[in-house]
């Protein structure tokens, strides 16, 4: 047994074999990967790392496993490993299809996990068992740890959730023969406070306009190197913040140089959720990085300076799916909690797309009215059709009653459940498909605005 002193959970006790795993280069690498990417340029104390977060996730997973009688040891070891696939600066550099879960599993396969086989841990991280849902699910250890930790290290009060009270409310239930994690009725308030914390951290930290600018600059800096074949995407899975920054410095990457001097780009225009039609949202949400770079090239050619386009990714809002369990029934949080519903609305309002330009050019660009027009023009020219099989289905059916029914039709047309859920979520988010709840079932139909453009 060893003890590590953590800023959040204080004493974290470790078994000897866990220590062996921690001492692997895969986990030690996380010491040099900042948990919140370039957030430290806005919140100077946000220098905490994926390493601490991994220990913390292990700690909370352990507590949850105890509460719901899951396999504590398996939950712990898997939690410890859940983030080893991250690129430098964590989520910031998930570019060109980089999937941290894929790289994580690839690494685990090759590791010696002492008392565990790689395959059980991978199975867990794939959420094939209860332990997996403890680490990452609707109410999970990962999220609880990062809210507490990011809030502590940024100095904001927002992420300060009431961990013991959340734990008190957790339970398990059976659904379609699978054991799932749910929340007792008396735990609703604690879960609501988790949602509130997450929402507030999103708006104060994760989506902070300047953090997003810095992140975009770093993304572009690295994309440039990849496109110029100085680096390939896979390399990122082995680098840490140090080797990446030092690589960029040596390449004399001009964006890195600006980041080092904190000479950050400025906001030129922001199009909020309600500034765009559903079709426009859908277009932007589906642009891939190469298309974005093409647009940016057009901007460059017109304005003679960088104009970067930053499109928020669409939030998953998994916590809204939490099941509230009582003797009588099992219901989704969203159905029983007006706060949960409104946070969903608020979350949607945070989504936007923004354009950034260098500090030295911004004044000139902002004062020139033609710039805005030109940008609109370029954005409107995006040649992109609303290709969506689900929209096609609804064009045909007009309205479908029941999510199960909808899935059934989709599967007949060769759409996998995973694709179905993701695309449906995205279409609803963008406002192309309307989802209503008649008290018993969800009803789906096309939005009226499906053909309108108003950028």
Whichever of 23 and 252 has its CB closer to its own copies, that residue is: 23
Contact map string, positions 250 to 289, toward its own copies, x by CB under 8 A: ----------xxxx--------------------------
Whichever of 158 and 265 has its CB closer to its own copies, that residue is: 158
341 binds its own copies (CB under 8 A): yes
Contact map string, positions 178 to 217, toward its own copies, x by CB under 8 A: -----------x--xx--x--xx--xx-------------
Per-residue H/E/C for the chain: CEEEEECCCEEEEECHHHHHHHCCHHHHHHHHCECCHHHHHCCCCCCCEHHHHHHHHHHHHHHHHHHHCCCHHHHHHHHHHCCCCCCCCHHHHCCCCCCHHHHHHHHHHHCCECCECHHHHHHHHCCCCHHHHHHCCCCCHHHHHHHHHHHHHHCCCCCCCCHHHHHHHEEEEEECCEEEEEEEHHHHHHHHHHHHHHHHHHHHHHCCHHHHHHHHHHHHHHHHHHHCCCCCHHHHHCCCHHHHHHHHHHCCCHHHHHHHCCCCCEEEEEEEHHHCCHHHHHHHHHCCHHHHHHHHHHHHHHHCCCCEEEECCCCCCHHHHCEEECCCCEEEHHHHCHHHHHHHHHHHHHCEEEEEECHHHHHHHHHCHHHHHHHHHHHHCCCCCCCCHHHHHHHHHCEEECHHHHHHHHHHCCCCHHHHHHHHHHHHHHCCEEEEECCCCEEEEECHHHHCCCC
Instruction: Report the residue from 57, 216, 253, 337 that binds its own copies according to the rule CB under 8 A.
Output: 337
Instruction: Report the residue from 243, 251, 286, 361 that binds its own copies according to the rule CB under 8 A.
Output: 243
Instruction: Report the residue from 18, 52, 142, 310 that binds its own copies according to the rule CB under 8 A.
Output: 52
For residue 25, the minimal CB distance to its own copies (Å) is 6
Instruction: Report the residue from 184, 287, 312, 339 that binds its own copies according to the rule CB under 8 A.
Output: 339
Instruction: Report the residue from 51, 206, 265, 308 that binds its own copies according to the rule CB under 8 A.
Output: 51
Whichever of 43 and 299 has its CB closer to its own copies, that residue is: 43
- When computed from its CA atoms, the radius of gyration of the chain, rounded to whole angstroms, is 23
Are 225 and 248 a contacting pair, CB within 8 Å?
A: yes
Contact map string, positions 59 to 78, toward its own copies, x by CB under 8 A: --------------------
Q: How far apart are CA 221 and CA 246, in angstroms?
A: 13
332 binds its own copies (CB under 8 A): no
Instruction: Report the residue from 249, 316, 373, 413 that binds its own copies according to the rule CB under 8 A.
Output: 249
Q: What is the DSSP pairing of strand 323-325 with strand 433-437?
A: unpaired
234 binds its own copies (CB under 8 A): no
For residue 89, the minimal CB distance to its own copies (Å) is 12
Which range, of 222-230, 342-350, 405-413, 442-450, touches its own copies by CB under 8 A?
342-350
Strand partners, 445: 399, 434
10 binds its own copies (CB under 8 A): yes
Which range, of 63-71, 157-165, 277-285, 396-404, touches its own copies by CB under 8 A?
157-165
Instruction: Report the residue from 2, 7, 117, 297 that binds its own copies according to the rule CB under 8 A.
Output: 7
Whichever of 61 and 337 has its CB closer to its own copies, that residue is: 337
55 binds its own copies (CB under 8 A): yes
Whichever of 190 and 393 has its CB closer to its own copies, that residue is: 190
Applying CB under 8 A, the site for its own copies has a residue count of: 63
Q: How far apart are CA 180 and CA 313, in angstroms?
A: 28
439 binds its own copies (CB under 8 A): no
For residue 310, the minimal CB distance to its own copies (Å) is 20
Whichever of 88 and 182 has its CB closer to its own copies, that residue is: 88
Are 60 and 141 a contacting pair, CB within 8 Å?
A: yes
- Contact residues: its own copies, CB under 8 A: 3-8, 10-11, 23, 25, 28, 31, 40-41, 43-45, 47-49, 51-52, 55, 152-158, 160-162, 164-165, 168, 189, 192-193, 196, 199-200, 203-204, 241-243, 245-246, 249, 260-263, 337-339, 341-343, 345-346, 349
């Amino acid at each position: 047994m060893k003890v590590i002193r953590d800023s959040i959970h204080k004493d974290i006790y470790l078994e000897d074999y866990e220590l062996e795993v921690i001492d692997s280069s895969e986990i030690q690498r996380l010491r040099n990967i900042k948990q919140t990417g370039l957030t430290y340029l806005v919140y100077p104390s946000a220098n905490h790392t994926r390493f601490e977060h991994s220990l913390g996730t292990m700690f909370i997973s352990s507590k949850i496993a105890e509460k719901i009688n899951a396999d504590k040891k398996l939950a712990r070891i898997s939690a410890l490993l859940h983030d080893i696939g991250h690129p430098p600066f964590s989520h910031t550099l998930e570019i060109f299809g980089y999937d941290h879960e894929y790289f994580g599993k690839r690494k685990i396969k090759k590791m010696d996990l002492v008392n565990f086989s790689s395959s059980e841990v991978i199975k867990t991280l794939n959420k094939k068992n209860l332990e997996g849902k403890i680490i990452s699910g609707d109410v999970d250890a990962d999220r609880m740890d990062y809210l507490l930790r990011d809030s502590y290290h940024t100095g904001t009060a927002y992420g300060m959730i009431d961990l013991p009270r959340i734990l008190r409310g957790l339970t398990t239930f059976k659904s379609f023969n699978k054991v799932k994690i749910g929340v007792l009725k008396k735990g609703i308030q604690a879960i609501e406070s988790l949602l509130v914390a997450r929402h507030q951290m999103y708006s104060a930290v994760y989506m902070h306009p300047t953090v997003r600018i810095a992140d975009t600059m770093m993304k572009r800096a690295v994309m440039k190197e990849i496109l110029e074949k100085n680096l390939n995407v896979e390399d990122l899975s082995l680098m840490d913040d140090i080797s990446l920054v030092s690589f960029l410095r040596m390449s004399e990457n001009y964006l890195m140089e600006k980041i080092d001097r904190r000479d950050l780009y400025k906001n030129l225009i922001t199009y909020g959720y309600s500034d765009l039609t559903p079709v426009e949202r859908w277009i932007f949400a589906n642009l891939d990085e190469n298309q974005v770079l093409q647009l940016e090239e057009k901007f460059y050619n017109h304005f003679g300076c960088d104009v970067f386009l930053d499109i928020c990714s669409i939030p998953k809002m998994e916590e809204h799916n939490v099941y509230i369990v009582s003797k009588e029934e099992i219901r989704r949080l969203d159905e029983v909690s007006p706060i949960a519903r409104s946070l969903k609305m608020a979350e949607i309002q945070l989504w936007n797309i923004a354009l950034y330009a260098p500090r030295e050019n911004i004044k000139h660009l902002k004062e020139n009215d033609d710039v805005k027009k030109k940008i609109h023009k370029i954005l409107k020219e995006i040649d992109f059709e609303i290709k969506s099989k689900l929209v096609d289905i609804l064009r045909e059916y007009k309205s479908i009653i029941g999510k199960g029914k909808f899935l059934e039709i989709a599967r007949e047309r060769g759409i996998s459940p995973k694709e179905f859920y993701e695309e449906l979520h995205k279409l609803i988010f963008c406002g192309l498909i309307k989802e209503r709840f008649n008290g018993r079932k969800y009803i789906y139909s096309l939005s009226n605005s499906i053909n309108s453009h108003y950028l």
